[in-house]
Structure 1
Amino acid sequence: MDTPESCKSEELCTELLQSQTGVTSISTESVTQTLRLRVFGVLHWVVSLGLILATDFLLKKAFAAASIEFPSALFGMFCIFSVLIILDYAVPSAAVAFEKFFEPGIVFIQRWLPLFYVPYLVVLPLSLKEIPASSAIKICLIVVGGWLATLCVTGLTAIGVRKAVKTELLDAEPMEKPSPFSSIEVCAWTGVLLISFAASLVFPTALGTRARTYLPFLLASTVLGYMIGSRLPSSLKKVFHPIIFCAASAELAAIALGFLSKSGLDAVLGYYVTNSSSNPGAGDILMGFLGSVILSFAFAMFKQKKLVKRHAAEIFTSVIISTIFSLYSTAIVGRLLSLEQSLTVSILPRCITVALAVSIVSFFEGANASVTAAAVVVTGLVGANFVQSTLDKLRLRDPIARGIATASSCHGLGTAALSAKEPEALPFCAIAYALNGIFGSILCSIPAFRQSLLAVIG
């Protein structure tokens, strides 16, 4: 390093050089430490998420090999929750460490959760081709009317039980909100979209099959659509919910690719969801996370274990009544409107999160999983837009009732909409959101209960 001419003495120059060296050393150490922390953070995220996905995969394989119809992810959720409770009782510090270890993976799942619903909407045109317009109108009536009825029944039940037990509201544990998407992330996925689009047109079978070659482009169009939809102003989100914006983005991308490649929309959608583990499409990759969503419920319930224990009467009574009412009312109205049996069965779990709703309809022969997912998402969208104003008109002010009623009638999307403005209701939303799907899955796994629903449908 050259000695500055302004230095008039050797001592001054030495001090200056030492000062400069010291600053450089501290800066280098700081950068190195920052890089180490980031590398460690990435590895922590990869391991925690990888273990969750591996657990879901192994459980699916084990249940399939044993021919067990009960949802494997739901069993895994019970196991994780039980382990957390046992550790919390025996070694509380171990329970906290266990929860903290999986936190990066859980935060990732929560951040992207709505995205995992989208593939069912994207391929919906393939499923709706044979559904008459009159049947589609009946489904819409059942979904919208059923949402309102379930909201009222659940909210009033929660209020009634709350008045009977007279427990004071306990403060909930704070729940971390996922970070918003940055401009860098949007730009990165835009680059992937453009490059993969060109590659799909120029080298359609570069990776062996069109499904594999189209996968990066169709995945990027879906992810980018969700990112942009999430960054829209609140006024636009009321019209274009991030899920709708995301599904539309993926659909338009499929239309463009089908037109320019001359393969057609139906063929591209067939590559989007192949239902093949050896040759998956973009939709298969996204739907592969649905099991991990169910496993994450264990951590959400454990975090609010004190709340569950204190308000167990309100929560469990409301959720049980809500789930039974939702399933049977859908069956009854479907029969009254003369809706086809297969379609009525498909929309039975309209108020249950799609991750479990699809598992539930698998118990019934002839059910259409795409119709199920569409009914669930539409229910959520209706709730997300109208749940708060409807609860106000019903004069349901209690945060317990508002949270349970919202999650039980419009699951995750309604939960996200309500919690954004009423954080005090979020814990009850999270609990009811999980329990509603759990109880519905348990009921529909019982043959006698399934037969009773089919008897009502006729």
Structure 2
Amino acid sequence: MNPYGVTLTLVVFYLFSELQRRRKAVYTNPVLLSIVLIAILLKLGGFSYGSYMESAVFLKFLLGPAVVSLAVPVYKNRDLIGRYAREIAVGIVVGGTTAVLTTYWMAKLLGASETVLRSIAPKSVTTAIAIGISAKIGGIPSLTAVLVITTGLLGNAFAPELLDFFRVRDRIARGLATGVSSHGLGTARIITEDELAGAVSGLGMALNGVFTALILPYLIKIL
């Protein structure tokens, strides 16, 4: 198997990570820049996305252990997280519901069709769960996947800066807001800045996925 996908991904991400280390800014976000550059290189080189993913299958395999590893900081900070269990639970319910309602109504005001509305509603939960929800409520799973990834990219690029702008200093609140709104990619960013915030973000991502999967099929009927 040609490992060009693994090599390309690692080299490009390393170079942009070094760029961000030397010039820390929103526009040097390595995840966003890596996706854009790799897409351009694949297009220019005449490589299909399928062949790229096949050659980068090892990195895709590592995604599972990476997500599971988020349990480590949760366990390390379990006592502090436990003291905020009530606040976290309220944050999941309010944040998860708000993520669905604001997205749904904004898209509706812009004239989106019912199918698109059902596709966009689960965009704030992780891809695997969002695709399943989308299929169940009559959305387009492939469109949902794109919207989920876009949401995660925006969270990865802007979440900490937005939290700073609105003067959200509490570490629990920062983590919960990031995990509920921008799932895995947002968590990947916030955990590099604060382990406790990252732990809460990972927990929020998981709990919001379960919460949204349970309520959205019923909520969409009301909407």
* Per-residue CA distance 1:394-420 (angstroms, 9 max, x = gap): 343322222212222223333344444
Taking only aligned residues, the RMSD between alpha carbons, in angstroms, comes to 3.1
In the other structure, the counterpart of 2:83 is 310
* C-alpha deviation, 1:314, in angstroms: 0.8
Note closer, same or farther for the CA distance 1:229–1:395 as it changes in structure 2 (3 Å cut): closer
> What secondary structure, in the 3-state scheme, does the structure 2 residue paired with 1:232 have?
helix
In the other structure, the counterpart of 1:438 is 210
User: % of aligned pairs identical?
Assistant: 28
Contact 1:241-1:381 within 8 A present in 2 as well:
no
Distance in 2, matches of 1:236 and 1:311, equals: 32
Question: Which of 90, 111, 134 matches 1:361?
Answer: 134
Gaps of 5+ in 2: none
In the other structure, the counterpart of 2:34 is 246
Give the partner amino acid of 2:219.
S
Distance in 1, matches of 2:151 and 2:139, equals: 22
Contact 1:353-1:411 within 8 A present in 2 as well:
yes
> What secondary structure, in the 3-state scheme, does the structure 2 residue paired with 1:413 have?
helix
* C-alpha deviation, 1:422, in angstroms: 4.3
Distance in 1, matches of 2:222 and 2:158, equals: 33
Distance in 2, matches of 1:380 and 1:437, equals: 14
Gaps of 5+ in 1: 1-211, 259-264, 274-280
Contact 1:342-1:367 within 8 A present in 2 as well:
yes
Distance in 1, matches of 2:211 and 2:204, equals: 10
Note closer, same or farther for the CA distance 1:366–1:429 as it changes in structure 2 (3 Å cut): closer
Distance in 2, matches of 1:346 and 1:440, equals: 13
* Per-residue CA distance 1:420-441 (angstroms, 9 max, x = gap): 4445533322322332223223
Distance in 1, matches of 2:24 and 2:58, equals: 29
Note closer, same or farther for the CA distance 1:406–1:439 as it changes in structure 2 (3 Å cut): same
Distance in 2, matches of 1:403 and 1:331, equals: 24
Aligned runs of 1:14-163 on 2, under 5 Å? Answer: none
Larger-gyration structure (1/2): 1
Question: Which of 413, 433, 437 matches 2:185?
Answer: 413
> What secondary structure, in the 3-state scheme, does the structure 2 residue paired with 1:379 have?
helix
Matched, 1:390 2:162: yes
Give the partner amino acid of 1:399.
R
* C-alpha deviation, 1:312, in angstroms: 0.5
> What secondary structure, in the 3-state scheme, does the structure 2 residue paired with 1:350 have?
coil
In the other structure, the counterpart of 1:217 is 4
Higher helix share: 2
* C-alpha deviation, 1:313, in angstroms: 0.5
Contact 2:187-2:198 within 8 A present in 1 as well:
yes
Contact 1:351-1:376 within 8 A present in 2 as well:
yes
Question: Which of 118, 125, 138 matches 1:345?
Answer: 118
Contact 2:133-2:217 within 8 A present in 1 as well:
no
* Per-residue CA distance 1:12-57 (angstroms, 9 max, x = gap): xxxxxxxxxxxxxxxxxxxxxxxxxxxxxxxxxxxxxxxxxxxxxx
Q: Could you tell me the TM-score, scaled by structure 2's length?
A: 0.78
Distance in 2, matches of 1:335 and 1:228, equals: 40
Aligned runs of 1:166-185 on 2, under 5 Å? Answer: none
Matched, 1:325 2:94: no
Distance in 2, matches of 1:450 and 1:351, equals: 15
The count of aligned residue pairs is 222
In the other structure, the counterpart of 1:452 is 219
* Per-residue CA distance 1:207-232 (angstroms, 9 max, x = gap): xxxxx5xx522332223222322222
Distance in 1, matches of 2:74 and 2:61, equals: 22
Distance in 2, matches of 1:450 and 1:284, equals: 33
Distance in 2, matches of 1:285 and 1:452, equals: 38
Distance in 2, matches of 1:388 and 1:236, equals: 13
> What secondary structure, in the 3-state scheme, does the structure 2 residue paired with 1:429 have?
helix
Distance in 2, matches of 1:344 and 1:285, equals: 34
In the other structure, the counterpart of 1:375 is 147
